[in-house]
């Protein structure tokens, strides 16, 4: 149960951070965010041990887990675990991290999206929150497809509506349902 709680805690921390914690620079970034947000310090080496970046047999302290729990809005580790045990880990939350509202994307701007496993898509904005797929690799979206979307957010699924392909009736589609988008990159069209 504790191992499962720790894994969920790490996932929630990454969601709030707006990126996965995979490389040395990610641990430094997280350490500085913790210091800035909860005014408490966790060393880069402690974070690396907890995330399994450095092989270690030690068990994380409740103090370490409490700091991370406070970072995501709980009173501490016990509060986080108690909420988990009762099944009330929030299913609702405000989005944080790298996100681009479709309303802020102009006609002609391009978006590059990627998600697991090894899926990529390049979109061009047609205006009014409508997009056309220009390139697609390993995805169910195909070049020429058009659709509407309201937001593109790292670590969140992509929900598209009014997906049009040839003579087929409009459909709704979700990409990156399990782990969310890995990367969202906007290239502004210079007019």
**3-class DSSP state for residue 33?**
helix
Per-residue pLDDT band at 45 (split at 50, 70, 90): very high
- Give percent above pLDDT 90 in the chain: 55
Residue 43: HSE in the Cβ half-sphere, 13 Å Cα cutoff: 5
Its domain, for residue 151, covers 99-187
- Give percent above pLDDT 70 in the chain: 92
With respect to residue 47, please indicate whether it lies within any of the assigned structural domains: yes
The H or E element containing residue 100 is strand 99-101
With respect to residue 177, please indicate whether it lies within any of the assigned structural domains: yes
- Among residues 23, 57, 85, the one where a domain terminates is 85
Say yes or no to pLDDT of 1 above 50.
no
Mean pLDDT of 138-147: 94
Say yes or no to pLDDT of 73 above 80.
yes
Say yes or no to pLDDT of 81 above 90.
no
pLDDT for the residue numbered 55:
78
With respect to residue 118, please indicate whether it lies within any of the assigned structural domains: yes
Cβ burial of 1 (10 Å; 0-12, 13-18, 19+) is: exposed
With respect to residue 92, please indicate whether it lies within any of the assigned structural domains: no
Domain count, the chain: 2
Look at the alpha carbons of 167, 171, 176, 180 in this order and tell me if their dihedral is positive or negative.
positive
Place of tokens 């459909």: 171
Per-residue pLDDT band at 88 (split at 50, 70, 90): low
């Amino acid at each position: 149960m504790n191992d499962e709680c720790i894994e969920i805690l790490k996932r929630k921390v990454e969601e709030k951070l707006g990126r996965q914690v995979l490389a040395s620079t990610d641990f430094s970034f997280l350490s500085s965010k913790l210091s800035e947000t909860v005014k408490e310090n966790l060393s880069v080496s402690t974070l690396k041990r907890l995330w399994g970046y450095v092989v270690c047999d030690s068990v994380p302290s409740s103090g370490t887990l409490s700091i991370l729990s406070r970072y995501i809005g709980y009173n501490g580790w016990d509060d986080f675990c108690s909420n988990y045990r009762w099944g009330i880990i929030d299913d609702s939350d405000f989005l944080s991290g790298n996100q681009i509202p479709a309303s802020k994307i102009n006609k002609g701007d391009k978006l590059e999206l990627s998600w697991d496993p090894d899926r990529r898509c390049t979109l061009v904005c047609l205006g009014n929150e409508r997009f056309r797929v220009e390139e697609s690799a390993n995805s169910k979206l195909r070049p020429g497809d058009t659709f509407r979307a309201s937001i593109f957010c790292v670590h969140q699924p992509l929900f598209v509506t009014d997906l049009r392909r040839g003579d087929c009736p409009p459909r709704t589609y979700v990409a990156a349902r399990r782990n969310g988008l890995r990367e969202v990159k906007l290239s502004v069209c210079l007019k």
